Amino acid sequence: MTVKWQGPGKMQFSKWQGLGNNYILLHRDQVPFALTPERVRLLCDRNLGIGSDGILVVGPRTGEDRFRLQIFNPDGSEAEMCGNGVRMVARKLKMEGSLHGDVVTLETAAGEIKPTLLDGDLVRVDMGAARFGGEKLAGFDDEAVNASLHAAGRNFTFTFVDVGNPHAVIQSPWPLELVPLHEVGPMIEEHKHFPRKANVEFVRVVDEHTAKVRVWERGVGETRACGTGATATAVALVKTGQCTSPVTVELPGGTLEVEVGDDWRVFMTGPAEEIYHGDLSQEFLRHLE
């Protein structure tokens, strides 16, 4: 149970990364105050805080090998899901002896997600079934597949994919290294078609089983990797007939393997690695007061 912080104490944390996408991991019972947007922004600040692409808050335990998971973006907003983050949480829980087996159920705002620990630092995640429409998409009668989107003065061809959080997967009209992502990313993220905003992926197909992508994450900005973004990319490419499962998705930080079933149920496999762990200083805790 979260309580208001009433003075100096200890607050433990660990920092993890998956393909360069990095997160602060906290246990709910070790956080002595409410994680307001202001506190989240300070913790994630790379100059004044720990620095990260977001915060993962684990707990409480709700059953055997079952935990709640809350995810914060560095702008202070909450995310429904984080593909890279759930791999980190699974490995952390295993490392500290909190799991009986190699499978954990994480209760997220996007529903139950089940990561399975593999050899080494690899984790395979059952991401559930992808959708191509729903309440996170506006302006279309049903699905948006190879649809048109106008932003930043030009038309883009995109496919909408909901894998717990919403994604606009765009066939890049530019070579990936030339995509003006910091210019067009925010405009597409906040487009009227996406009432809850959207992650944005610019994609180039390499071959039947391989694609390259750059990601603009909702509430974050450009990141070196995005697990749900890679998942959505693979789903969109299989849906539009440009790739066949399994799909290797190459991101600036590395590669993720994505399996797409006939029923659009998706499995994503990739690494997660702890960078360091420690305690926040008394001085920094006072800044969070």
Please tell me the total count of domains within the chain.
2
Do 134 and 102 lie in a common domain?
Answer: no
Q: Is the pLDDT of residue 268 over 90?
A: yes
Do 88 and 39 lie in a common domain?
Answer: yes
Alpha carbon 21 to its chain centroid, in Å, reads 9
Indicate the SS3 state at residue 85: helix
pLDDT tens string 161-194: 999 999 999 999 999 999 999 999 999 999 999 9
Range 245-274 average pLDDT: 98
Percent of the chain with pLDDT over 70: 97
Catalytic pick among 226, 230, 251, 268 = 226
Exposed e or buried b per residue across 198-216, where buried means at least 16 C-beta atoms within 10 angstroms of its C-beta: bbbbbbbbeeeeebbbbbb
Angle (CA) 59 63 68, round 5°: 25
Catalytic pick among 26, 44, 82, 211 = 82
Do 83 and 148 lie in a common domain?
Answer: no
Is 190 contained in some domain? yes
Range 203-226 average pLDDT: 97
Residues of the domain holding 34: 12-121+273-287
* pLDDT for position 6: 43
Q: How far apart are CA 211 and CA 202, in angstroms?
A: 10
Q: Is 82 a catalytic residue?
A: yes
Indicate the SS3 state at residue 71: strand
Sort strands 254-260 and 265-271 into parallel, antiparallel or unpaired.
antiparallel
pLDDT tens string 37-91: 999 999 999 999 999 999 999 999 999 999 999 999 999 999 999 999 999 999 9
Range 221-241 average pLDDT: 98
Do 134 and 225 lie in a common domain?
Answer: yes
* pLDDT for position 9: 62
Token representation of residue 109: 């705002």
Do 100 and 137 lie in a common domain?
Answer: no
pTM of the entire predicted model:
0.94
Do 148 and 189 lie in a common domain?
Answer: yes
Please give the mean pLDDT across all residues of the chain.
95
Q: Is the pLDDT of residue 233 over 90?
A: yes
